[in-house]
Structure 1
Amino acid sequence: MELQIKALKDPLKLAWDLFRIRNCLMATLGVFLGALFVYHHDTFIDTNLLLAMLSAFIITAAGNSINDYFDVEIDKINKPNRPIPSGRISKSDTLMISMILFLLGITLGKMINNYCFALALINSLLLAIYAAKLKKTLLLSNMLVSFLVASTFIYGSLSKIGPQGFRFGDLTLLAVISTSAFLTNFSREILKDIEDIEGDKRNYVTTLPIKYGEKFSKRVASILTIFAIFLSVTPFFISLENFNKLAYFFLIFAADLTFLISLRSPAELSQRIMVFGMFLALLAFLFAKLVGIFIY
């Protein structure tokens, strides 16, 4: 019995580490939230939304695994317990799994509509190019990853697009959360670069901390985070349909406070605190919209 449990746990642990399931779930939540922003009392949980959530999960998993494929030399130094350096999976198997997942995710996008197909295809190509080439490019790699994170909300909204398009309030809310996600993730990527500075130096990766120093990089990350905090108060000053601002206030206050705490923390701890803040911010938008829908 003990051997059977271990046999089951090992592949599950491998999948958790290789695909970074937590990131996949965050992407899925982003898609759900993006769809929720354009919801107007029609059928919400339909086939298109479920396909979009599954597609985002799979493409994110593919991007994370192909990143491990190209990052194996860096991970030998920075993260030797990652699946490939630790010997739990081979490079060739990782590449094959990544390609299959990319194709599956794009196919699911095509089943939704042409908008989702286009974004799924573009994001898959960007993830592969990022892992293979752009990761060593100063700031461009950080910006690309941040765009990919922000695009999950757009992907979700596109799964619900109708013949009339989107309302102005929907687009405003979508712009706020997408831009906030871009800024906070950009900041987190810079903090991760500070944490990975030794391995990046040995592999000739040009990052902001390597080129301009840790202090300057932390300052840039702080500025990006502060911009995101200012942007988070935008919903209080615009008219939004089915959006409860009181529900939004409590959670976004906690999220912004978490972001401020992250700015005062060491880089290796700061980016982890920021992940929690990003999760709270997602919950703020989610609950504000859900409460708004059920009340009104």
Structure 2
Amino acid sequence: MNGRNAGNTELKQNLQAQLLSSGVGAAREKAIQRALNNVNKPGFKLEPSAILPLMKPVTWFPPMWAFACGVVSTGEDIASNWSILLRGVILAGPLMCAMSQTMNDYFDREVDAINEPDRPIPAGKISKQASWIITFTLIMTGFLVAWSIHPYVMAIAFVGVLMSHAYSGPPIRAKRNGWFGNLIVGLAYEGVAWLTGSFAITQGVPSSESIALAIIFSIGAHGIMTLNDFKSVVGDNIRKVASIPVQLGEKKAAILASVIMDIAQLVAIGILLAKSAYLMSGIAILLLAFQLPMQKTLIDNPKEKAVWYNAFGTLLYVLSMMVCAIGIRP
């Protein structure tokens, strides 16, 4: 046995021991080992049916919604600007967000092999070379759509690509630390998308209230991203990715996520009150109140309830975004 083979055998044995100590069963461990063999396999492979799962459509909603909030916050007539709204929503979700997901899957393929071995690259349905072609196609298409809205929007899209690479790829790879990585995603998915929506309609500097809400809800999205990291704790521990649940433990991470989201909404409600938008303030307060008992359930059992809260509790948070966007309309 040569040195390289001996080293690979030792790595596999160490990984097997780590998986078993994390409570991973034998069948799952075999699937992970198979996925790890797939992620760096040479050659080109592209199963068309795997392209959409690689782009993760379930993640498109937040930036699409934030773009729509930015549009609504301007007070402009949506019916007369429907083309910009449609192109902007497509840009924010099926193009730029999908691009960030395919890029992340490339750089995260070895972590995904442990956390989600059924993802397209670990499953061997899409090679890493093919995933880059998909990413590049999405980038170029996104630039064309962004240019059709306004040249400045294409510049913003370019910044979005840089943010995606800073989050997922070397040398920064901000996702290695949940404090920074989650903030970048929150800013990209919520803040940049919101302000792009506002600019696309008015082609001018957004209002101070709109800028403030975009920043506030971006910071609050840090909590949403923390909850999203609960599903990856095993792989993050093994691959030394310092997500918030890994750093603080699951219970403290759940508390932190809830507090950040609540504070963001309270500050946003303060802006509505300052604008004398009392009806929208009341609705936002009710949405926050409904989240509190759900957060208690999350904190009591974070490992089991993180996915549940991300589906239902987060929905109330994003509804509050639109309520606030309506409340600051001129």
Give the TM-score range, shorter chain: 0.7 to 0.9
Q: Aligned partners of 1:260, 1:131: CA distance in 2, in Å? A: 32
Give yes or no for the alignment of 1:234 onto 2:270. yes
Q: Is the 8 A contact 1:55 1:109 kept in 2?
A: yes
- Deviations 1:149-189 (Å, cap 9, x if unpaired)? 222111211111245x444xxx3145225412432x21232
* 1:59 shift after superposition: 0.7
Specify the code of the residue in structure 2 equivalent to 1:101: L
Could you tell which deviates more after superposition, 271-280 or 51-60? 271-280
Give yes or no for the alignment of 1:88 onto 2:106. no
Residue among 80, 94, 102 paired with 1:65: 102
Report the equivalent of 1:274: 310
Q: Aligned partners of 2:279, 2:145: CA distance in 1, in Å? A: 30
Report the equivalent of 2:180: 140
Q: Is the 8 A contact 1:246 1:288 kept in 2?
A: no
Alignment of 1:155-234 (within 5 A): 155-162=196-203, 165-167=205-207, 171-176=208-213, 178-183=215-220, 185-234=221-270
Alignment of 1:24-43 (within 5 A): 24-41=60-77
Residue among 167, 179, 182 paired with 1:130: 167
* 1:114 shift after superposition: 3.3
| Secondary structure of 2:202's aligned partner | coil
Report the equivalent of 2:15: none
Q: Is the 8 A contact 1:259 1:274 kept in 2?
A: no
Change (3 A) 1:213 1:255: closer
**Structure 2 gap ranges (5+):** 1-46
**Structure 1 gap ranges (5+):** 1-9
Q: Aligned partners of 1:256, 1:270: CA distance in 2, in Å? A: 14
Change (3 A) 1:187 1:31: same
| Secondary structure of 1:205's aligned partner | coil
Q: TM-score, normalized by length of structure 1?
A: 0.79
Change (3 A) 1:99 1:205: same
| Secondary structure of 1:196's aligned partner | helix
Give yes or no for the alignment of 1:286 onto 2:322. yes
* 1:61 shift after superposition: 0.4
Change (3 A) 1:97 1:202: same
Residue among 87, 92, 96 paired with 1:56: 92
Could you tell which deviates more after superposition, 268-277 or 18-27? 268-277
Alignment of 1:254-265 (within 5 A): 254-255=290-291, 258-259=294-295, 261-265=297-301
Q: Aligned partners of 2:315, 2:68: CA distance in 1, in Å? A: 14
Could you tell which deviates more after superposition, 54-63 or 132-141? 132-141
| Secondary structure of 2:201's aligned partner | coil
| Secondary structure of 1:206's aligned partner | coil
- Deviations 1:62-102 (Å, cap 9, x if unpaired)? 11011111111111111111111112222211111011101
Larger radius of gyration: 2
Give yes or no for the alignment of 1:118 onto 2:158. no
Calculate percent identity across the aligned residue pairs.
21
Give yes or no for the alignment of 1:22 onto 2:62. no
Specify the code of the residue in structure 2 equivalent to 1:146: G
Could you tell which deviates more after superposition, 210-219 or 239-248? 239-248
- Deviations 1:92-141 (Å, cap 9, x if unpaired)? 11111011101211222122223322221101111123211312245221
Q: Is the 8 A contact 2:111 2:236 kept in 1?
A: yes
* 1:37 shift after superposition: 0.5
Could you tell which deviates more after superposition, 256-265 or 276-285? 256-265
Specify the code of the residue in structure 1 equivalent to 2:183: M
- Deviations 1:250-281 (Å, cap 9, x if unpaired)? 44543555445434441452254134333223
What root-mean-square deviation, in Å, do the aligned CA atoms of Structure 1 and Structure 2 show? 3.2
Change (3 A) 1:198 1:38: same
Change (3 A) 1:275 1:234: farther
Q: TM-score, normalized by length of structure 2?
A: 0.72
Give yes or no for the alignment of 1:102 onto 2:139. yes
Change (3 A) 1:201 1:56: same
- Deviations 1:221-269 (Å, cap 9, x if unpaired)? 3432332242243254122679744555544543555445434441452
